Homo-oligomer: A and B are copies of this chain.
Amino acid sequence: MRIGIIGGTGREGRGLALRWARAGHEVILGSREPARAKERARALGGSIEGGSNEDAAGAGEVCVLAVPYSAHADTLRGLAGALEGRVLVDITVPLRPPAVTVVHLPQGRAAALEAQALLGPGVRVVAALHHVSATHLEHPERAIDSDVLVCADDEAARQLVIGLVHDLGLRGLDAGVLENAVALEALTPVLLYLSRTHKSSTGIRITGLPPPAASEP
C-alpha cells in the first residue's frame, strides 16, 4: 500500500516510515521543506520517498498526520483538497507545552474530531497511535510493549488501520467511534507524566481480552 506521512520528517514519522517500509509498503514522507524530506527519505533507505506535504497527502490511499497540535488546523486547511476521498490517520495529541503532563482538551474535544469537522465527510478520519513513543518506533527490531487503540466512525477505515498497525509490529484494537478519540488523546499526557515520574518510557496494554490469534504480535 502507498502511505503518505504529512509532517513525516519528525521522529514519529520516520519511525513509522521505517517499520512500514520493512513490511513492504511504499511510504512518502511529506514536509513543508521537500528537499529536507527527500534527504531524510534517502537516509532511511528502502521504499521511502520524500516530497512536499501535498505530495504525501495526494500519494496514498492512506495518509498519516504527524504534525504538532499547534500546526494541526493550518496544515489540514492547506491539504483539504488533496486529502479528499482518503483515509486520514490522525496521531495528534493536543498537548499544551510546557504542561505536557496535564490533559488539555481542545475546543473541539479532540484533535481528530476537529480534523473530521474541518475536512468534512469526504475524508475518513481515524485516530490512532497516540501511545507509542518515537523512541521505540525508530528501532524496528525492537518489540514494543504497548497496544494501539484505533477509533473511527467508518468501520472499513478502522479495520484498514488496525491492519497497518499490525504491520508496524503492534496489536491494534478497535476502540469504537471517533468520539472516543477524546479518551485516546487525553491518555497521552498521563503516560508522559508516568514516564517522567518513573524515568521510563511507558505504554498501555488492554487486559482481559481473549488470547490473540497466532499471527498477532
Contact = CB atoms under 8 A, between A and B. Distances in A.
Contacts of A189: 176, 180, 183
A169 interface: no
Interface string A174-205: 11110110111011011101110110111111
Nearest to A197: B174
Given A105-B105, A208-B145, A176 B190 contact: yes
Interface of A: 101-103, 105, 109, 145-146, 149, 151, 173-177, 179-180, 182-184, 186-187, 189-191, 193-195, 197-198, 200-210
A145 B176 contact: no
Contacts of A173: 194
A175 B200 contact: no
B207 A176 contact: no
Nearest to A208: B202
B180 A103 contact: yes
Nearest to A205: B205
Contacts of A201: 208
Contact of A208 (B180, B183, B203, B206): B203
List the 9 closest pairs (A to B, CB-CB), nearest first.
A183-B186, A176-B193, A202-B208, A145-B207, A203-B207, A205-B205, A103-B182, A183-B187, A183-B190
B208 A190 contact: no
A206 to B, nearest CB: 5
